[in-house]
Structure 1
Amino acid sequence: MNKYSINYILTFLSCLLFIGSCTNDDEINEIVNEKENKILFTFNEVENISHKSSNIDFEYAIKFSYLLQKYDRIHKTNLSGLVNTSNAVKYNKTLKQNLIIESNDVYVETSMFSKLMENSNGDKWIVFPKIKNNTIHSFILGHLSQDKSNLYFYTFDNNSEFYKKNILAFQNAYDLKFKSSTQNRSGNYCDLEVDFECWFEGVIITPNPGGGGGYPGWGGGEGGGGGCAVYEDCEYIEPPTGGGNSSTSNPCEDIKKQTSDPNYKAKIDELNKNSILNKKHESGFSQNKNGSYTSITQTASSNISDGLIVDINSDLKGLIHTHQNSYETGNFDVNGNPEIRQPIKMFSPADVNALMKLALNQSHNSYGDIYVTMVSSSGVYTLKFTGKSSDIKTGFNTSYWTNEYLKFWNNEKGNNETKFLRFLSEKMNVTGVQLLKVDKNGKSQKKSLGSNKKVITDNCP
């Protein structure tokens, strides 16, 4: 779907999947894999950067800011305000990242950071301020899982509780450092590599009350991150037996097993009705590995979102959701004509991201049972993961990918299947994902992209 696609939002110490109409929210929280098959996030290049400080806050801040900028470069985002930006920056070869010289827009002040915090489960997080016109504009938080397998970044704007609790401490520290006559962030470049007077001591912040110093969980917004593949910084640890890296699933056999389940069929039939598809919000179910289904909670509708929320955990097996028919929003253009919202009746990048997150949750790469299904008036489609662990990529549930998908969809020719498969291959560079279409009798077809960029349809036996 277009801007009416699957979104993600963060809540305290839980993973929430936001299936809705605009991919403008958070990346999912940490994912747990079996130790034998884990993809470790290793800080490969960062660990080799030498410093002249033994301050643990400083050391982690350097690592987090380096990877924040690396994420920006890879995914063409600008969470840091220091990559692909109008701000004046200088690249530091030793620290392997840009440093601010003069600000023209919002940026992350990497030389200013919180004390390193640690959850009771061993996860670590650190906070940087985002600055605009010498004022703390918002915060960005780096959250590293205890096993270093996932690193995420989340923003906290001035409406969040976390911002309200900590703005004064950061603003006072910033004013003391940069509004004096000797330090001026907008005028004098500070050589952070050699001049440690330029760096701040870690700012003491207020975490979530009763949280034991853990992750604040107060109103986190758009961000990005994930496992090591997202940062192109990976080390793969093979299982003790030397195998288990590839999927052994057969998508036709897997979808046949899935569609023959009367409970699954009942949920599809429940959603595949005009009364449901004509609503102004999506509907759906999550399925646990024990076979039970849970209705996905609807969020409040807005001009960008008609979304749903579902708890993502290691017991989750699959997701079923609708893509709505076109409908009037209730708003009008300047000529008095009703505004029509036209959801795309095909998977979005964020839908693919959901499948990848489900794959990350599988132990021993048992991918055959996981799925993401979309029900629309154009048909019922299912995504299955058929790749290996190194094919798992996340980070597609951001506004950048939403906008890129919309541009591609509006400018390219072809039917919905063609456009989706082309974008998956040409723009997202994703492999190991199988698109299947299922008719009302449960018969399935595999949809693949041929060398001529045309869809090849193979009937499942």
Structure 2
Amino acid sequence: MKRNYVLRLSFITILALSLNSCRTDDLQSETAQQPTINTKIKAFRDFEKKALAAKGAAPESYAYPFSETFDEILTEHPDYAAKFSDTFGEVDFKVASQTFGESEKLVYFPILKEGKLAYILSCAINAKRTEAFYKILDPELKEYQVIYSTFAAHYKNRPATTAKIMEGYIEEVIIEWSDPIPWWWYMIYGGATSPVHFPTPNTGTVNIPDPQVHPIGGYNGTSDPCSKVKSIVNNPKLKPKIDELKNFSLTAVEDEMGYHQDKSGNVTPADVNGNHHVDFTINQNSLGGIHNHTLNGAQMFSPRDILTLLDFAGVQNQTLPIGSTADNTGNAFLGMISQSGSYFITFNGGSGDLPPPMTDAEEDAYRIKLNKEYNKIILKLLKAEGKNRGDDLSEVGLQKLFFSIIKEMDLEGKINLIKQNGSNTSTIEQNPDGTIKAPIPC
């Protein structure tokens, strides 16, 4: 079996990328004051000293120093450890792949959630042993299914358990493939896009998965909707696009503009159809989208927009590993940028809460019906505000419009409405009597 691969990439590039990675708000202050010391990470230094003392004997699996280093981070940062466990599960440190690489090293560990294989943790260390990279492996990678299936087969005939391994035995699971992507590709592209950056107490630097970011590039469905949107609007790939849409929303042009984000974090322009509306091409890799309403349109989500969110929500589970019990329906999002501010909607529920699918013809007819009702609601709300057809609804009137149309669509309580205004992010909710609650900031 071929166990070593030629690994070619300067770690200067990786270090530069890592130092610019996003950090979670609550962990940033904890780590910002710790200096980065460009010396070897202790677990790897000790491991290789032991191998050297063995007078040329082949070193044991690098799974040992990888597990020790990661456990050290979890021990030193219990808040992070709790979030990692809630989001991803528990790393099974009793099991690991063989060690890949020559000067740089790569090892995979399985992650279990509720006793089942959920994710794969890829672990890499640079040649100088000064920087380690831990990432949740992206299911879109061509090797993912081989790695996942190999670990799944390992658990098939024995119980899946978790345990810390410092000096104990780690069972090696051999992964076979004929044309692997170089290990550095996983570290840069193959997992959560915003690692948390930790200088370790024993020197060196460790980059680990951000619990606020979903393992395949989206946003963690276990976080509250308001915090999720706060992460979206501060995402370095989406933020400049949102600013661009804000400027465009102040124009009187007919065409909308929008951007689509996939589950790996990539942002691409959306199409505009013959009716001047944004058309998102939604497939199994889609996460969500943002678009604007110009001065010519209503400054709130339309029925078409809400149906688009449902389409995004419906594909969230299509890239989950085989046998996974996770439900990522709540990861989908849609943003609407207008002169009245930025609003985002997310789905409040699981896949079982989604309306049954419709044919294209059924959806077209349904949309026409909803648009008629939408316009009736606008006129009713304008009259209540003492305004005429063609006038603008107040901010509260726009929010009442949203809640009225989702009630008409039998989606009451299933769609979250979040407003982003400057640096303030707030949940918008309606009282039982139809009035709007004061914004709930996060």
The TM-score normalised by the length of structure 2 is 0.41
More helix by share: 2
- Higher relative contact order (Cα pairs below 8 Å, separated by 6+ residues): 1
More strand by share: 1
Q: Which has the larger radius of gyration?
A: 2
